[in-house]
Amino acid sequence: MAAPAQMIGSSLSFLDAVERASAAAALNRPVLVIGERGTGKELIADRLHRLSPRWSQTLVSLNCAALPENLIDAELFGYEPGAFTGAQRARAGRFEDADGGTLFLDEIGTLSSQAQERLLRVVEYGELTRLGSNKPISVDVRLVGATNEDLPGLVARGRFRADLLDRLSFEVITLPPLRERAEDIDMLALHFARRMAAELGWPRFPGFTSKVQEQLATWAWPGNVRELKNVVERALYRWGDAETAVGQLVIDPFESPWRPTSSHVLPHAAPAANPPPSISPVDTAAAMPAPRLESITDLRGAVSAYEREILECALEKHRHNQRRTAAALNLTYDQLRHALKRHGLLGE
């Protein structure tokens, strides 16, 4: 059996959720795990299984949102030959696969009403019927469901069965988002960074600069721990220097001056000679305070100084990538180089 994934954190809200999972693990009762994406619902399901009397049996997982509605019944409950087009031989479903162990149903709030009805029977009586069969099959499965939805709210809107929710909610463990676990961010970032440094073959992790540490602490982390892991690993991979502290984060990997601005592209359309930049020169200039008129005594000098500030701002925004800076300012590469040379910003 593979080693359990690590659960890292010292915040009270996180430790409370872990403690409740540990206490519920010993009981043969359904558990619901509620939390935003990336908060670690799969880790809690794994803990519930490993600390239970079923630890030596199988933990079977299924993402209910990953399958179309017409396949979810067959995947959960199995089918007999001829049950539907293409069913040439019998197949056991996930419940039978998990017999004696634990079945983890992620995104359980997306189940269709028909699947909810069949699930209710399994939870209540421990019996299921394969599609295309009338013969009941007994199963002994501990069910763990997870969702980022408000299940009572779905019940109120008629999208989830109240009687099924009653049977699934013996214990409900709600995981805190990372923004409510501020004291855990440094600990998690260091853990992910050390693992990535080892993967990259670095002799050690050189640490983060104070600027990066501040970014890590102040970002809202809408994708929670999973987003933090991606950002930290990407930072080390792109930094590429095992000797100096990592000084740059790329939180949005899609950031680019050539990022598409529309999801609709005309078929067979010829590409534009100069793709539109993601920001305009007006955007860049707008971020700079204009010189006050009463302080201007030399027009040419003021214009030159203001132009230099715009160039410096754009270079900093695009991490001194001159081609991206040129595109953002709607200049050709040669035009930008000429302007940088004029202001002594080439650094050559």
> Could you report the per-residue pLDDT of 118-145, keeping only the tens digit for each?
999 999 999 999 999 989 999 999 999 9
Under 8 Å between Cβ of 128 and 168: no
Under 8 Å between Cβ of 214 and 250: no
Measuring CA to CA, how many Å separate 276 from each of 152, 155, 259, 313, 321? 47, 47, 9, 19, 17
Q: Tell me how crowded residue 249 is: count the other CB atoms within 10 A of its CB.
A: 19
Domains, in order of start, for the chain: 12-176 (3.40.50.300), 179-239 (1.10.8.60), 281-342 (no CATH)
pTM of the model: 0.72
Q: What is the DSSP letter of 39?
A: S
Under 8 Å between Cβ of 340 and 322: yes
State yes or no: pLDDT of 277 exceeds 50.
Answer: no
For the chain, give percent helix, strand, coil, nearest 5.
Answer: 45, 10, 45
Q: Is the dihedral of CA 35, 37, 39, 40 positive or negative?
A: positive
* Number of alpha carbons in the 13 Å side-chain half-sphere of residue 153: 4
Cα 228 to Cα 161: distance, rounded to the nearest angstrom: 35
Which pLDDT tens digit goes with each residue over 177-236?
999 999 999 999 999 999 999 999 999 999 999 999 999 999 999 999 999 999 999 999
Which pLDDT tens digit goes with each residue over 298-338?
667 777 888 888 888 888 888 788 878 888 888 887 788 87
Under 8 Å between Cβ of 16 and 174: no
Q: What token pair was written down for 1?
A: 């059996």
Which pLDDT does position 167 carry in this prediction? Answer: 96
Q: What token pair was written down for 109?
A: 């709030």
